[in-house]
Structure 1
Amino acid sequence: MSTNDSPESAIGPIPLIFTEDVAATMTGIGLVWAQTTAGVIGKDGDMPWHLPEDLKHFNKLTTGHPVIMGRKTWLSFPEKYRPLPGRTNIVITRQEGWGQTPEAEGAMAVGSLDDALLESQFAPGGQKVWIIGGGEIFKLSMDIADIAIVTVIDSEAEGDTFAPELGDDWKSGTIVPPEGWMTAANGTQYRFTMWRRMEG
C-alpha cells in the first residue's frame, strides 16, 4: 500500500469514501462548513486558509442539489465561480430588489429561510438541500437541519465569523480519521466530522 492510500494522506481513499457515502445516502437538510479548532469560519468575507481538498469534498457533497446561502456568502465567491455550477443557488437577502442587480446574476434571491426551503423543494435534486453559510443563516437553520458535515482545520487563524454551536440535540457520529488528522498536500491538517440532530 502506498503512502497515498493511508488515512493521513490528502488523497487516500478513506476521505473519499466518507464524502461519497454522505453524498449518496443523506436526505433532508444538511449544513456544511469548515472551521478552525477555535470555531472560526471566516474573516473579512473570506476563509482564512487554503485547503483544496476541502473544496473537492464540498463540491462532491453539494453538486446536483440546491444550496442555500446568505448574500455575503454569495459575494464571497469570486465572480467567475458564481453561480456554483450544477446547483440551484438560492440566496437569502433583506435587500429588496437585489435579485435584479448584476451581482445577483445566476442566483435565485429570496427574502427568508422559509422561502429558500420552499424554492429548494422544486429545484433539481431537492430531496437533499445544503445550507452553506454564513454564520447567521447557520444559526437560523440549527433547529431544522438533519445533519451537519464539518471540516475541522488545525489552524490558529483569526476571524470575525464563527461556526454555530451544536447543542445537546446534536450528536457526533463519524470522524475521519477516527484519531489524529489528515494532511493536505500543502501541509494543512484537517478532519471531517459528521453530526446528526436527534429528534425529541
Structure 2
Amino acid sequence: MPKRVAFFPGKEPIENYFNIQSKREQIFEPHYNLTPGQHIPVVFKNGDTLSLDRIRWGDENSRNTTVPVNEAAALTDDKKWIPCAIPLSGFYIWKDDKEEGSPFFIRMLSGPLMVAAGLLHSKEEYFQIITTEANVLIKPMSETMPLLFDRELSHLWLNQSEEVDNILNRAKNLFLLTDLSVTRVSEEVNDPSNNSEELVQPIPK
C-alpha cells in the first residue's frame, strides 16, 4: 500500500500530459517525501475543463488514504466522489509496508511522470489513491500498489468518457515489469520530516 510518494516532475511534463496550464508556480514545487495528510497536486474535472490544485491526501485524520480498485467503481456512482489523477514522480515501499528498514523507490522508466488513479471527495476535499494487486516486481515487498494510468486512460477517467469498470480493468495490466524501476534508497526516507533530492538517489547494492 502506498504510504509515501514523491513529486518532482516539473511544470512542463504535467501541463503537456494533461493539456492544462497553471500560473500557480508553487503547485509544482518539488517534494521528495510526501505523507498522508499533506497536500499533493491533483488533476480533476471542474465543469467543462480540467483543473490542477493541491488537495489533502486522506481525510482530516489522515485515514482513508487508499481505496481498492474493486471498491472504486462503486464509489463513482456517488456524486460526491470525483475521478481524479495524481501526477507523481514515484512512490516508496517497504518490506511488509512497515516503513522501517530499507525503503525502495518505484518510478517509471519511460519518463519523469507517473500518474496514479484517484478519487476526490468533493465535499470534504480530500483524495484517495486507488490501489490494485501488486505486480511480481513489487509483490515481494507489498501486496498492493497504486493503480497507474497512461495518458489515454487518464483522460478517459477524468472525463468519464468510458465505462468506469472498463477503464479500471484496462489499467490493471497496463504496465509491464520493464516499465518500472525499483531501487533501494536511503533510510532517511523513514523520517517523514526529511525532504531532499538525495532521498530518491539509488544506493549501490
Q: Which protein shows a greater Rg?
A: 1
Give TM-score, length-normalised by structure 1.
0.26
Give TM-score, length-normalised by structure 2.
0.26
Higher strand share: 2
Higher relative contact order, structure no. (Cα contacts within 8 Å, ≥ 6 residues apart): 1
